[in-house]
Amino acid sequence: MAKIKVIGVAGYSGSELARLLLAHPHVESLQLIDRKAEEPIPIWKYRPNLRGTTEQMVVGKDDGSPAEVVFFATPDGVAMEHARSYLDRGIRVIDFSGDTRLRSPEVHKAFYGIEHKDPALLAEAVYGIPELHREEIKTARVIANPGCYATSVILGAAPAVRRGLVDPGKIIADCKSGVSGAGKHLTARMHFAECEGNFNAYKVTGHKHIPEIEQELSLLGAGPARITFVPHLLPVTRGILTTIYGALVKPVSLEEIQAEYEGQYADCPFVRVLPLGEECTLKGVQGSNFCDISVHLDTRAQLLILTCVEDNLLKGASGQAVQNMNLALGFEETAGLMQPGLWL
Amino acid sequence: MAKIKVIGVAGYSGSELARLLLAHPHVESLQLIDRKAEEPIPIWKYRPNLRGTTEQMVVGKDDGSPAEVVFFATPDGVAMEHARSYLDRGIRVIDFSGDTRLRSPEVHKAFYGIEHKDPALLAEAVYGIPELHREEIKTARVIANPGCYATSVILGAAPAVRRGLVDPGKIIADCKSGVSGAGKHLTARMHFAECEGNFNAYKVTGHKHIPEIEQELSLLGAGPARITFVPHLLPVTRGILTTIYGALVKPVSLEEIQAEYEGQYADCPFVRVLPLGEECTLKGVQGSNFCDISVHLDTRAQLLILTCVEDNLLKGASGQAVQNMNLALGFEETAGLMQPGLWL
Amino acid sequence: MAKIKVIGVAGYSGSELARLLLAHPHVESLQLIDRKAEEPIPIWKYRPNLRGTTEQMVVGKDDGSPAEVVFFATPDGVAMEHARSYLDRGIRVIDFSGDTRLRSPEVHKAFYGIEHKDPALLAEAVYGIPELHREEIKTARVIANPGCYATSVILGAAPAVRRGLVDPGKIIADCKSGVSGAGKHLTARMHFAECEGNFNAYKVTGHKHIPEIEQELSLLGAGPARITFVPHLLPVTRGILTTIYGALVKPVSLEEIQAEYEGQYADCPFVRVLPLGEECTLKGVQGSNFCDISVHLDTRAQLLILTCVEDNLLKGASGQAVQNMNLALGFEETAGLMQPGLWL
Amino acid sequence: MAKIKVIGVAGYSGSELARLLLAHPHVESLQLIDRKAEEPIPIWKYRPNLRGTTEQMVVGKDDGSPAEVVFFATPDGVAMEHARSYLDRGIRVIDFSGDTRLRSPEVHKAFYGIEHKDPALLAEAVYGIPELHREEIKTARVIANPGCYATSVILGAAPAVRRGLVDPGKIIADCKSGVSGAGKHLTARMHFAECEGNFNAYKVTGHKHIPEIEQELSLLGAGPARITFVPHLLPVTRGILTTIYGALVKPVSLEEIQAEYEGQYADCPFVRVLPLGEECTLKGVQGSNFCDISVHLDTRAQLLILTCVEDNLLKGASGQAVQNMNLALGFEETAGLMQPGLWL
């Protein structure tokens, strides 16, 4: 059983995390923090559907009590200032922001535009995709919870890159995300009247998730990765579908690639490599911590084509954070995470 | 622990029921039946999101094994033919169709257009709204799981009718339902291109849910109920919102009515009477077994106005069915039913 | 040919009006005004789909040039301050706000909460529903463009009230509106992630459109009208569907009521009374200036039930405003307004 | 003025074509044909929003009257059987199907799976993208109206291919289409409950639109084109967004590419090359015949990235067909096609 703190419970991923932790079998107590809360507020004021299911309150400040894990479900810039004080108190940190994802302070500065205030965090943090770093996560003090887009691209591309099937320097990721990925922030583009029935690309070059994808794929031993990454905004609340195009470096059959994917993810409870011929869909993963992958081959162009789906708030954020917590605290990896979603 | 059978698992409410029962803490074994299944088919072929979470199969026929409960998640006309054989084997029946909801064979024939094949079922069945018939459900052999619309109208109107606040003979229910309420059946009106962004009333008079609503509200002791019931189709997958208009029979304050509603539902874990001034929303209940009610008073017109929401597939169908099963088998009423939904 | 000014072109109904006027056969020149425009801005910056179809600019201030009509597509409070100066220059005013809709300054103050700054406007204004006030509109100097909800309720109820079929003191209007009706204003409730798949009532008593509905229905000679008016927010961009319940004061057949509706609207090009048995839908009117009405009778309850649909930005706002302009300037009533919308 | 016939008015693109032709300034008379119409049926029975705007009827059979143009808005296989008889009567044919798009009967057979019944049609037909074949269309007897996806890919890629900027043999088109592109046909995937909030790829290799794209891009003089084409289904009614990735063959700046695109489309009234930094959106083109293109450059990967949007029922089908008709009959290219859509 564990005592857990969550900083930043007002955002979409913060309140999603609260929902998961409230139902988690090994969470003993929970401190939920929203710095704008001037007095204790029931968590169901943030997520009205929780009304009647919990007495849990949200407070404006950490009370300084001990804990095993603190989650920073906060924007870029918060963890780099406050994580250190938790580490000093012996509390493991799981950070949702870009403050801990990159190993290089220079790359961090280039993509985030600010000087890092605690570069030692970058050096120490483990990138929190359990399918790549399970063992390191078990003993990590700082876990960088990956970006939602990054998770889908890395999980989709990693097996092919690791086995040297595709050129890691020429990967294209055409990504489509639901609206919740951009958070609660209100802009005209988020207004229902302007979003419903709409679709567009945005930030076609230079997205902040690029360096973490390249960092992780480069670690797989097939040479430095370079990603062309184009995000699009879907008129959908939850879910990311990423279509990955990778240039084959040698002839290989679709069946061999499929076997490679199935093999590499055989021990990963949250990655489902769909049988050949079945196409992954957002509905298949919304509300769950699963990532589904479909493998295709364009033999004429010698391109491997992967489609990967995840719920951006779960495997792309709060679900993966709980998966990381489970590993870090020695719980079963799937504890509190096996809800299949609603489908309809 | 109980052994359960579900007939009709291919439909939306049948597969939703399967999802609930697969996660139910007191279900020992499950036989899922789809008469079109020529060989055993994994349940996740019906609900792709269940892939990897269960090995449960669907079969084409009941194998005749013993069970505590059989659910008929079937269209009108099936239970009246087959329920008897289950009762004869000592298996309780929970029926989703109109075959068991009405006490009067004449009214049944008038609204359903066919002669009932087993009128004794009508005589024996208990109408399965636990908030009205909890004690009878505990010992019932046949439970008529209510219509989705009917549940929302009855739960919304019952406290006012029971206490004699409104004229039961002049109730108007303006109902709005998501598309899943009409089932998987494909019609042009269900085509995404024709449904998205659309809204309309349908079957403005004579809907089949009218007689069960009038039957149940008439049993509350305030005189015979007559309902004007107008359903509308929302461009939404899940959820019903019902707006009820009731003519006050004597002056009463909003606060008194609110207190009445809170009092009558104090022991009902799935009905949340929202505080005055808070408006219930579909998002508040989607994915859960809750019914939320907001109470309003138009003092100029002396009309009580209630808004009630539920998830038509849960409190309006499969969730309520499990709630009924829990009572009938002596489990805790909330067993397997406290998931709060996703909200976003 | 006419010279036209539009004040408030930045809002949804203002830019919709601009779209209509740009395609209007009798508009000679157009001055579009957005007080936030610091320098001239192409109109397609406000409506990106207009790019390449017009060179029309938006300016920050009226240049004082002569015109036949000025539209105030502005929030409550603007027209009462500025309309007078246009009238003094001989320019007819068509006002989209609540500043001119009510004849009584007292009622205005009761519902809008502020003292009217130019009560003579209230006295002079003609309520701009051409189906009720066509002749007065032709000579009016001030036309109060009705509220979107009000238009649908009045058009739906007027024939029955005028003919004395229903009790004008007991009308219930259960209204459902798309999101654009609330304008561009950003609130959490308008965020796509919170609006999509959602539905709820709001402002269940005391909505500002009540007094204009009661004023207009009371003028029909059947006694003072009293409306119970409950608005709901649909997860749809455009369109209002209103369901009206009216208590019959004497027995009358559905066919007689239908004939009455068809007769009273025979000369109204934008009201389509659908044949008995056909149900009006939002898709039938989105993108057009039509209002469709379906007539039903609940004989058991002796209730007339009407469903009425309109596009809230067209017949509920900018389309009706152009219809009023056409009448006021002696153009054909339908000029520039016969686009049927897209349906899909 | 022209006499026009439309075969296949029951489908989405057929009825959309009817809507356009009914408002077309140079159409003298219209014969609308739906072979399932046993007796004359008003066109508004197919498109309810047209009610009250036209008396036009749909008939079950061509009456053999003379005409200038016949449109085949029919599935694959119809035009190859019936077009010849119209040509013999001196009536130009504009075909929406795959029966006339390819010049090679062998490629036709490979992708459509059937032997062509009138290969001379393939030889004679002009591929109906006016931006590529304006002059030939003016004198063509048979015009192959392009596929919706194909239009967006070809318009997006053509300028870069024509100028030799990208390798025509390595183009990737990641396409996302609204649901109406699949027509009225009812399948589970089209059910609102399964489509809303969903997104997925389909037919990841071997789509029928590939050969027409490769045929047209190969004609541009830069060598044989090979396309990787991956379609996805958006939960949107109208619109296609295509993201094209092309490998630069030599260094070139973004500004030079932009200038190339603007230059090549300078005389094309329906293609809008957006200014650098502006991102095209579905809302910008829904309801109009425009195709919008945004140009980007990934300098690290030396990839040209284009996003192109169109309304699949207009520039992707019926609008382009009218544009072709305008050219073939000597009308102004934009006649009847300048409606900007609704945006909201």
Cα C326 to Cα C329: distance, rounded to the nearest angstrom: 5
pLDDT on residue B219: 97
What average pLDDT does range C133-142 have in this prediction?
98
Could you tell me the two tokens for C159? 């024939």
Contacts of B307 in chain C (CB under 8 A): 200-201, 204
pLDDT on residue B91: 98
Nearest residue to D237 via CA among A285, B181, C341, B240: C341
> Which of C235, C299, C307 comes nearest B201 by C-beta?
C307
Phi, psi for residue A253 in degrees, rounded to 5 = -85, 155
Cα of D194 to nearest chain B Cα, Å: 8
B171 assigned to some structural domain: yes
> Which of D193, D201, D281 comes nearest A279 by C-beta?
D201
Pairing of strands A2-7, A69-72: parallel
Residue C208 sits in the same domain as residue C240? yes
Length of chain B: 344
- Within chain B, which residues score under 50 in pLDDT? none
Which D residues 129-188 touch A at CB under 8 Å? 170, 172, 174, 176
Per-position DSSP letters for C77-104, written without gaps between them = TSHHHHHHHHHHTT-EEEE-STTSS-S-
Per-position DSSP letters for A37-58, written without gaps between them = -SS-EEGGGTSGGGTTT---EE
Minimum CA–CA partner of C272 in chain D: D52
Contact status of C196 with chain D (Cβ, < 8 Å): yes
Contact C239, C285 (CB under 8 A): yes
Contact A69, A92 (CB under 8 A): yes
> Which of A197, A243, A279 comes nearest D174 by C-beta?
A243
Nearest residue to C36 via CA among C49, C28, C27, C45: C45
Contacts of D307 in chain A (CB under 8 A): 200-201, 204
Beta bridge partners, B30, equal B4
Distance of CA A144 to the CA centre of its chain: 9
Residues with Cβ within 8 Å of residue A42, at least 6 apart in sequence = A51, A54, A55, A56, A57, A58
D222 assigned to some structural domain: yes
What element of type H or E holds D321? helix D319-328
Q: Match 């610091």 to its residue by tokens.
A: C38
Crossing angle for the helix pair C148-162 and C210-218, to the nearest 10 degrees = 30
CB contact under 8 A, B200 and C279: yes
Radius of gyration from C-alpha coordinates of chain D:
20
D340 assigned to some structural domain: no
Judging by beta carbons within 10 Å of its beta carbon (0-12, 13-18, 19+), is residue C205 exposed, middle or buried? middle
Contact D131, D265 (CB under 8 A): yes
The residue type found at B272 is R
Residues with Cβ within 8 Å of residue C256, at least 6 apart in sequence = none
Residue B178 sits in the same domain as residue B127? no
CB contact under 8 A, B190 and D187: no
Contact status of D341 with chain C (Cβ, < 8 Å): yes
Contact C161, C168 (CB under 8 A): yes
CATH number of the domain to which C67 belongs: 3.40.50.720
Minimum CA–CA partner of B338 in chain A: A53
Q: How confident is the model at residue C172 (pLDDT cuts 50, 70, 90)?
A: very high
Nearest residue to A93 via CA among A54, A134, A137, A33: A137
Cα C278 to Cα C293: distance, rounded to the nearest angstrom: 9
CB contact under 8 A, A281 and B48: yes
Cα of D60 to nearest chain A Cα, Å: 35
What average pLDDT does range D85-102 have in this prediction?
98
Residue B299 sits in the same domain as residue B153? yes
> Which of D172, D239, D299 comes nearest A245 by C-beta?
D172
Contact C167, C220 (CB under 8 A): no
Nearest residue to C224 via CA among A103, A48, B301, A298: B301
Contact status of D193 with chain A (Cβ, < 8 Å): yes
Q: First vs last Cα of chain A: how many Å apart?
A: 34
CATH number of the domain to which B173 belongs: 3.30.360.10
Contact C181, C227 (CB under 8 A): no
Residue C120 sits in the same domain as residue C240? no
D203 assigned to some structural domain: yes
Cα A55 to Cα B339: distance, rounded to the nearest angstrom: 15
CB contact under 8 A, A283 and B48: yes
* Strand, coil or helix: A136: helix
Mean pLDDT for chain D? 97
Residue A163 sits in the same domain as residue A282? yes
Q: Which of D166, D187, D198 to mutate to test the interface with A (most CBs of A within 10 A)?
A: D198
For residue D254, the tally of other CB atoms under 10 A from its CB is 15
Which A residues 46-75 touch C at CB under 8 Å? none
Could you tell me the two tokens for D123? 């030889």
Phi, psi for residue D118 in degrees, rounded to 5 = -145, 70
pTM of the predicted protein model: 0.97
Cα C293 to Cα A77: distance, rounded to the nearest angstrom: 56
**Which domain covers residue B121, as residue numbers?**
2-145+317-328
> Which of A284, A286, A344 comes nearest B12 by C-beta?
A344
C74 assigned to some structural domain: yes
Contacts of C190 in chain A (CB under 8 A): 186, 191-193
CB contact under 8 A, A192 and C192: yes
* Strand, coil or helix: D162: helix
Cα C174 to Cα C245: distance, rounded to the nearest angstrom: 8
Q: In what order do the strands lie in the sheet with D142-144?
A: D41-42, D57-59, D27-33, D2-7, D69-72, D92-95, D142-144, D126-127
Neighbours of chain C (3+ CB pairs under 8 A): A, B, D
Judging by beta carbons within 10 Å of its beta carbon (0-12, 13-18, 19+), is residue D277 exposed, middle or buried? exposed
Pairing of strands B41-42, B57-59: antiparallel
Residue D135 sits in the same domain as residue D88? yes
Residue B256 sits in the same domain as residue B292? yes
* Strand, coil or helix: B163: coil
CB contact under 8 A, D236 and A198: yes
Nearest residue to D28 via CA among D321, D265, D280, D336: D336
Residue C88 sits in the same domain as residue C175? no
pLDDT on residue C76: 96
- Within chain A, which residues score under 70 in pLDDT? none
Contact B143, B97 (CB under 8 A): no
Minimum CA–CA partner of B48 in chain A: A284
pLDDT on residue A199: 98
Contact A279, A249 (CB under 8 A): no
C51 assigned to some structural domain: yes
- Active-site amino acid positions of C: 148
Residue B97 sits in the same domain as residue B153? no
A333 assigned to some structural domain: no
Phi, psi for residue A6 in degrees, rounded to 5 = -125, 120
* Strand, coil or helix: A161: helix
Q: What is the 8-class DSSP label of residue D43?
A: G
Residue D139 sits in the same domain as residue D189? no
Q: Which of B107, B167, B172, B296 to mutate to test the interface with C (most CBs of C within 10 A)?
A: B172
Which A residues 270-329 touch B at CB under 8 Å? 272, 281, 283-288, 290, 292, 313
A344 assigned to some structural domain: no
Neighbours of chain A (3+ CB pairs under 8 A): B, C, D
Interior angle at CA B164, CA B163 and CA B169, nearest 5: 135
Could you tell me the two tokens for A203? 């930030």
Q: Can D280 be counted among the known catalytic residues?
A: no
Q: Which of C15, C47, C191 to mutate to test the interface with A (most CBs of A within 10 A)?
A: C191
- Active-site amino acid positions of B: 148
Residue B154 sits in the same domain as residue B275? yes
Contact A153, A229 (CB under 8 A): yes
- Assembly ipTM: 0.97
Could you tell me the two tokens for A54? 């919990």
Number of domains in chain C: 2
Nearest residue to A271 via CA among A292, A296, A295, A243: A292
Per-position DSSP letters for C248-261, written without gaps between them = BSS---HHHHHHHH
Q: Which of C244, C298, C344 to mutate to test the interface with B (most CBs of B within 10 A)?
A: C298
Cα of B47 to nearest chain A Cα, Å: 7
CB contact under 8 A, C190 and A193: yes
Q: Match 């701009």 to its residue by tokens.
A: C128
Contact status of B12 with chain A (Cβ, < 8 Å): yes
> Which of C172, C230, C239 comes nearest B199 by C-beta?
C239
Q: Which of D175, D199, D302 to mutate to test the interface with A (most CBs of A within 10 A)?
A: D199
* Strand, coil or helix: A266: coil
pLDDT on residue B131: 98
Nearest residue to D159 via CA among D48, D244, D277: D244
Q: What is the 8-class DSSP label of residue C220?
A: T
CB contact under 8 A, D204 and A296: yes
Q: How confident is the model at residue D79 (pLDDT cuts 50, 70, 90)?
A: very high
Residue A205 sits in the same domain as residue A282? yes
Neighbours of chain D (3+ CB pairs under 8 A): A, B, C
pLDDT tens-digit series, residues A60-93: 999 999 999 999 999 999 999 999 999 999 999 9
pLDDT on residue B125: 98
Cα B13 to Cα A342: distance, rounded to the nearest angstrom: 12
* Strand, coil or helix: B171: strand
